[in-house]
Structure 1
Amino acid sequence: MTKRIGVYPGTFDPVTLGHMDIIRRGAKLVDRLVIGVTTNPSKSPMFTIEERLAAVQREIAGIDSEIHVVAFDSLLMDFAEREGARVIVRGLRAVADFEYEYQMAGMNQQINPRVETVFLMADVALQPIASRLVKEIALFGGPIGKFVPPAVEREVVARVASLGQKGSG
């Protein structure tokens, strides 16, 4: 029997409770979920790719599913093909996300029609969470504990402190 393989791509800079929700739910839809950690050239990462891989790996440790965390630096459809995936899992928070994701799904379908995109709505309580906003709040000394796992909170606070910013307390 062929395994159903899905890919959940993202920068995970940092990994949030929203990401973790999509990972848990996405893992139920496939036999193996591959979390693809990438660097978006239009974003300035707070953490290195190695740090982000380690954080995601640590956070998924308690999930009872076949989940693999790997780095990639290529077109998403090439990565999906390399991993043997037939499903791309994407999380949606709001209507604004949908427009962007819909356009990307259409482009990806043109590149590789063998791979389908599945959208999961974020849990209502987690919908406002975005890595970009978590970093911004942390840089201004605000609390981020409601948005990220505890170990990630400590890492973000430490990174902000090392940058000479206010940090959260």
Structure 2
Amino acid sequence: MTGPESEGSLVRRAVCPGSFDPIHNGHLDIIARASRLYDEVYVAVMINQSKKGLFEIEERIELIREVTADYANVRVEAFHGLLVDFCKQRDIPAIVKGLRAVSDFDYELQMAHMNNGLTGVETLFVPTSPTNSFLSSSLVKEVATWGGDVSHLVPPAVFDALSRRLKKD
């Protein structure tokens, strides 16, 4: 059995997974909303060795910890492998995913069915707020790389880190 019942605990846990390279206001909105619904929210930072990110995993974790510091019930950890294994190891019965558009739903629904079929973990879809519905980490990086102002799309700490990183390259 997966979930809080398995240990007799009443703690409600969920995970918000992603690469968060970098975390942006859309991510932060979903994490904040999940933190109001659950007792513990894990932000699981995906490790994908085949992809070279702009920020190293440790840098992403530190940025996420900094921008979620006001949420006492949010924990940030890296993970490698199947998300459902991360969930089983931490007794997490729910995955919270933000949806921007119908195109997100098609892919995320397949993943939700697979995750549920593997271990019974449920996926909850949260629509993004209209102001964040176009945001993606890739888009933020691309605009910032070409000198566009992304300060209104990411938390200040992330904007500073992004600015420093792009000046180095």
The correspondence for 1:24, drawn from 32, 35, 46, is: 32
Instruction: Give, in angstroms, the shift of residue 110 of structure 1.
Output: 1.5
Quote the Cα distance in structure 2 between the aligned partners of 1:23 and 1:135. Answer: 21
1:68 alignment partner in structure 2: 75
1:56 alignment partner in structure 2: 64
Extract structure 1 runs of 4+ deviating beyond 3 A.
40-44
Q: How many residues align?
A: 161
Instruction: Give, in angstroms, the shift of residue 40 of structure 1.
Output: 3.6
In 2, are the aligned partners of 1:39 and 1:45 still within 8 Å (CA)?
Answer: no
* Counterparts of residues 75-86 of structure 1 (less than 5 Å): 75-86=82-93
Q: What's the secondary structure of 1:144's corresponding residue?
A: coil
Cα distance change on mapping 1:118 and 1:42 into 2, 3 Å: farther
Opposite residue 121 of structure 1, the aligned amino acid is P
Q: What's the secondary structure of 1:159's corresponding residue?
A: helix
The correspondence for 2:109, drawn from 95, 102, 108, is: 102
Aligned-pair Cα RMSD in Å: 1.2
1:93 alignment partner in structure 2: 100
Could you list the per-position Cα deviations for residues 95-123 of structure 1 after superposition, in whole angstroms to 9, with x for gaps in the alignment?
Answer: 1111110111111111111x110010001
Larger mean CA deviation between 86-95 and 36-45 belongs to 36-45
In 2, are the aligned partners of 1:144 and 1:153 still within 8 Å (CA)?
Answer: yes
Instruction: Give 5+ residue unaligned stretches, structure 1.
Output: 164-169
2:3 alignment partner in structure 1: none
Cα distance change on mapping 1:117 and 1:42 into 2, 3 Å: farther
The correspondence for 2:157, drawn from 141, 151, 157, is: 151
TM-score, scaled to structure 1: 0.91
* Counterparts of residues 111-130 of structure 1 (less than 5 Å): 111-113=118-120, 115-130=121-136
Opposite residue 110 of structure 1, the aligned amino acid is G
1:142 alignment partner in structure 2: 148
Q: What's the secondary structure of 1:132's corresponding residue?
A: helix
Quote the Cα distance in structure 2 between the aligned partners of 1:160 and 1:14. Answer: 12
Does residue 45 (structure 1) correspond to residue 53 (structure 2)? The answer is yes
In 2, are the aligned partners of 1:34 and 1:68 still within 8 Å (CA)?
Answer: yes
2:44 alignment partner in structure 1: 36
Instruction: Give, in angstroms, the shift of residue 45 of structure 1.
Output: 0.8
Q: What's the secondary structure of 1:28's corresponding residue?
A: helix
Quote the Cα distance in structure 2 between the aligned partners of 1:86 and 1:137. Answer: 36
Q: What's the secondary structure of 2:37's corresponding residue?
A: coil
Instruction: Give 5+ residue unaligned stretches, structure 2.
Output: 1-8
Instruction: Give, in angstroms, the shift of residue 42 of structure 1.
Output: 6.1
Could you list the per-position Cα deviations for residues 41-71 of structure 1 after superposition, in whole angstroms to 9, with x for gaps in the alignment?
Answer: 56431000000000000000112x4111111
Quote the Cα distance in structure 1 between the aligned partners of 2:78 and 2:48. Answer: 12
